[in-house]
Chain A
Amino acid sequence: MTPATPTTIAQPLPLADGVQGIVADWSSDQRAFKNVPWGKAMMWIFLLSDTFIFSAFLISYMTVRMSTVEPWPNPSEVFALTLFGKQVPLLLIAIMTFILISSSGTMAMAVRFGYQKNKQMTFILLLITAALGATFVGMQAFEWITLIKDGVRPWGNPMGAAQFGSAFFMITGFHGTHVTIGVIFLIVVAIKVLRGDLDHQRPGFLTGRKGNYEMVETMGLYWHFVDLVWVFIFALFYLW
């Protein structure tokens, strides 16, 4: 009797690259996303669905803007700020853009320090990210108040096509809600980091899942997505 070929369980089987890798990953019995923690994969799938929601808003905005026979209000003038007696176009929106991009930068660094188990830096960077996000929401509230005072309503405005107001409040309102939820979760994750929940794998109060530093990356994915959506809103709604 010939001895069976010895098998080892010490090393995982190598993962194929390229197209072969895709086929192998997707056709395997267990999980398709091999080296990705489930929380991260689920966050990506949620973000994909959110992409479709925001795209539906932006594409319907395109449709109403293309089909209206009234002139569309010029965003460059509507969102202008008067500074030292001079009209500066889109100034507030530009500042908001830079603030959100900066918050994305600090978030990316927080993820990196998180994986290095640097509690202090991760906490500080997460708090800076949350503060920048809160500043963004505050400026958006200011922008809404200014526009409402100018007579912009979801059903009409003095500058032109009535669809301008409905598209503006719908798109920026939905995005602002995302930022607000993100700020709340950033603070929750920051507290978890500071308390050492992620080091000690302490179960969360809501889901009971063990804490780990992959949570910071998953949080980061959501936050970067909020920034990503703003890139599209900035280009398509404010600059177009």
Chain B
Amino acid sequence: MEHAQGRQPAIGAHVEGQQHPIGIYLKIWGLLFVLSAASYAVDYYQFQGYLRWFLIIVFMLLKAGLIVAVFMHMMWERLALMYAILVPTLLLMVLLGIGALEADYTFFTRGVFFVKGLLVQ
């Protein structure tokens, strides 16, 4: 690993690998527990409608962000790696949009097909 010796100690202020105080992991662990309990409570108390979707998505994204940022050490990495990994995932939004369009169209044609079938009878 002769290349790895060229790392600069000033950046991220860690000399060897990723060494961070144990407290931060325990705090994030606790936070993840709270967020999981909160998203479970959304189901347990049977929130419905837009409030339910909103809460589920918010808790999901918060948990995902905490895991990637702290547990996977992304917040201490250089921007070159951060962008290389995180920016391509934005492409998935396009796939999500295409999937939704396609699903709406399929649902519509199914509706048309079944209504026609009922009229013929």
Contact = CB atoms under 8 A, between A and B. Distances in A.
Interface string B41-66: 01110100000110011011001100
A214 B39 contact: no
A102 B95 CA distance: 32
Contacts of B32: 101, 104-105
Of A47, A56, A108, A234, which is in contact with the most chain B CB atoms at under 10 Å from its CB? A108
A228 B8 contact: no
Main SS of the interface on chain A?
Answer: helix
A38 B3 CA distance: 9
A62 B39 contact: no
A44 interface: yes
Contacts of B99: 59-60, 62-63
A4 B52 CA distance: 70
A34 B67 contact: no
Nearest to A61: B99
A33 B78 contact: yes
A239 B95 contact: no
A224 B33 contact: no
A164 interface: no
Contacts of A15: 8, 11, 78
Interface in A140-177: none
Given A25-B78, A66-B104, A69-B107, A240 B8 contact: no
A207 interface: no
Given A224-B68, A235-B39, 15 more contacts: A14-B10, A17-B79, A33-B84, A35-B8, A35-B78, A36-B78, A37-B4, A41-B81, A67-B106, A104-B29, A109-B22, A112-B20, A214-B17, A231-B64, A235-B56
Interface of A: 12, 14-15, 17-19, 21-22, 25-26, 30-38, 41, 44-45, 47-48, 51-52, 55-56, 59-60, 62-69, 76, 89-90, 94, 97-98, 101-102, 104-105, 107-109, 111-112, 115-116, 212-214, 217, 220-221, 224-225, 227-228, 231-232, 234-236, 238-240
